[in-house]
Amino acid sequence: MSLLIDGLQYANWSEKIFRQMRKGGVDAVHVTITYHETFRETVLNIERWNRWFELHPDLIFQGRNAADVALARETGRTAIFFGSQNPSCIEDDIGLVEVLHTLGLRFMQLTYNNQSLLASGCYEAEDTGLTRMGRAIVAEMNRVGLVVDMSHSGERSTMDAIEHSARPITITHANPSSWHPALRNKSDWLLRALGESGGMLGLSAYPHHLKDGSACTLQSWCDMVARAVDLVGPTGVGIGTDLCQDQPDSIVEWMRVGRWTKTIDYGEGSADAPGFPAMPAWFHDNRDFGRIRDGLLASGMDATTIGGVMGGNWHAFFDKSFGPQVATSVRERRAAE
Amino acid sequence: MSLLIDGLQYANWSEKIFRQMRKGGVDAVHVTITYHETFRETVLNIERWNRWFELHPDLIFQGRNAADVALARETGRTAIFFGSQNPSCIEDDIGLVEVLHTLGLRFMQLTYNNQSLLASGCYEAEDTGLTRMGRAIVAEMNRVGLVVDMSHSGERSTMDAIEHSARPITITHANPSSWHPALRNKSDWLLRALGESGGMLGLSAYPHHLKDGSACTLQSWCDMVARAVDLVGPTGVGIGTDLCQDQPDSIVEWMRVGRWTKTIDYGEGSADAPGFPAMPAWFHDNRDFGRIRDGLLASGMDATTIGGVMGGNWHAFFDKSFGPQVATSVRERRAAE
């Protein structure tokens, strides 16, 4: 069986969920460890993961590079790769990019819906693209091997990141807006540019990103996968379920509101439906990836493409993304300029 | 030529000093990166080191394990191993032990002269040994491979650490008090216990630790090395110069006073001589280790013991100290109890 990798989850983790990862044969998961937390608060979250790694070494371990995915498969465990959905964790300090990479961070979104120090979020009225600091941080992320994730960014900022980044970027959890129009989904032209640049799109199973929301059928979702493969290319598409299993609704409020406003922002929800939406019938937890694989087979997709979408493409992307960019020093690069 | 390792320096680092390390053929140095700094402040110091590593990859790189010392020799560079002289960097949070180890910390003193959350310093009137948190932290340091350093601790606390630690501890920079009585030097009985436990003593060239201070002769120092070898054993003695090259006197005040008092504490100095003392004539910087080696040869020490003292013993100690203690989980250890 080909590798199975989920490009984004933010669950209320527990031994139960780690066991479900094993039951589902999930080799690797990119987990969100921080949203609006400061650096010190993010380190507290890492400490919590360190305890889980210490308590459950038979189920999970910290992934640092692509080889760890193969190691996970060989040893019957799930490799956990850290990511941040907002740059709050680096505060205003470029030196924290390398520090967090050393602590295992492998993905960082430049924005989460709002304007950040680095770029514009998809909910801002104006998208002014990468800021001065944004360009500096992308270069530093490129240098150390921390992947730029633009899932919650505006389209211009995302295009700026694709063009400015010396290494391919990713949108870990979003769908084509031509399938389901939503501020968080991405336009066809952007997805084509992502694919041409060698980037990766992780397709979401989060109801607000789905046609017909929680009622979205597996067949409709699999047709969308085929459409995404046409747009991004067969090696540029993976899965990023955005699974928020077992989270209380207070967490979706933290995601949306953080500490940036004293009023409620409903984000993709509404005053009538402020909490987490119900997941679609065909995907509730890590044991359900087999259904997606079967759905893709039933939709007529070829086995090679399915293997890529289910994990092979993420694995190849990890392999080219997490190591240092070049072995030369700043002095050598300056001399070469 | 055998390996050359310095078990402690706290210089005002610069390209000049890194070049002197190369001229002196120094394969590895344990550098102090923090005294009274909080975790966040310690991370700022790590960021400064990361810049030096980026700017001077032909001279230095970050050492993480014993193999990096051999790599340094092979590639003509100096491996830099991080240490803390006080536990301020872990604040009141045991989870920071593993986080700082991941960031490369390899030594941590449990105290710096004063009582800490963990143990008693050598300047306290009462030494009450390891605290409750001290015992928990030593066990966690053992688990991850962060070495307990008792250079500035009281004798009872040091003995407690030797007895409580499941892995050998070190005194990275101190001399026998039977050679030169000083609160910072260690008694013969303690040094014998250190040797019997497989621990390491790094011998200091800092004038306050020397007989006759700055006027100490190389011959007297080499006679002291032979005495230390008799006490600790031929494989338990190395060098820990305590070189504070190019530091302004404001730094020795920070070391002694930190933020714990509003009055001046002169530590090993005095109101008449509050600053850094002049180094002995035979050791000014990293180019002078050859003089120490020649002095030991002239003193009649055998070549094997000299090779151990100059670096071989530290290398063997690094090899057994920096990796994880056991591969078993907390659950497995609980089950085994």
Could you give the ipTM of this predicted complex? 0.91
In angstroms, the CA A237 to CA A312 distance is 10
In angstroms, the CA B157 to CA B118 distance is 9
In angstroms, the CA B156 to CA A333 distance is 53
Which DSSP string do the residues of B249-268 spell out, in sequence order?
HHHHHHHHHTTT-SS---TT
- Bridge partners of B6, per DSSP, are B29
- Bridge partners of A186, per DSSP, are A176
> Which strand (E) or helix (H) includes residue B7?
strand B5-9
* B302 contacts chain A (CB < 8 A): no
Q: Which residues of A touch B46 (CB under 8 A)?
A: 99
Chain A nearest-CA distance from B132, in A, is: 20
Q: Which residues of A touch B99 (CB under 8 A)?
A: 43, 46-47, 50, 103
A327 to B57: CB separation less than 8 angstroms, yes or no: yes
Q: Is A233 left (phi over 0), alpha (psi -120 to 50) or beta?
A: left
Best of A328, A329, A334 to substitute, by most chain B Cβ atoms within 10 angstroms, is A329
Block residue for tokens 């640049």: A197
pLDDT of residue A327: 52
Which DSSP string do the residues of A187-238 spell out, in sequence order?
-HHHHHHHHHTT-EEEEP--GGGSTTGGG--HHHHHHHHHHHHHHH-TTSEE
Best of B48, B100, B329, B332 to substitute, by most chain A Cβ atoms within 10 angstroms, is B329
Class of domain B5-336: alpha beta
Instruction: Return the residue of B nearest to A94 by Cα.
Output: B47
Instruction: Return the residue of B nearest to A57 by Cα.
Output: B329
- Digit-by-digit pLDDT tens for chain A (337 residues) are 799 999 999 999 999 999 999 999 999 999 999 999 999 999 999 999 999 999 999 999 999 999 999 999 999 999 999 999 999 999 999 999 999 999 999 999 999 999 999 999 999 999 999 999 999 999 999 999 999 999 999 999 999 999 999 999 999 999 999 999 999 999 999 999 999 999 999 999 999 999 999 999 999 999 999 999 999 999 999 999 999 999 999 999 999 999 999 998 888 889 999 999 999 999 999 999 999 999 999 999 999 999 999 999 999 999 999 999 975 445 555 565 5
Block residue for tokens 């997490």: A322
- Digit-by-digit pLDDT tens for chain B (337 residues) are 799 999 999 999 999 999 999 999 999 999 999 999 999 999 999 999 999 999 999 999 999 999 999 999 999 999 999 999 999 999 999 999 999 999 999 999 999 999 999 999 999 999 999 999 999 999 999 999 999 999 999 999 999 999 999 999 999 999 999 999 999 999 999 999 999 999 999 999 999 999 999 999 999 999 999 999 999 999 999 999 999 999 999 999 999 999 999 998 888 889 999 999 999 999 999 999 999 999 999 999 999 999 999 999 999 999 999 999 975 445 555 565 5
Nearest to A251 by CA among A30, A34, A89, A15: A34
pTM confidence score: 0.93
* A156, A116 contact by CB (below 8 A): no
- The dihedral of CA B191, B195, B197, B200: what is its sign? positive
* B102 contacts chain A (CB < 8 A): yes
Pick A329's closest partner by Cβ from B39, B50, B57.
Answer: B57
Query: Cβ neighbours of residue A35 under 8 Å, at least 6 residues apart?
Result: A84, A85, A86, A88, A112, A254, A255, A258
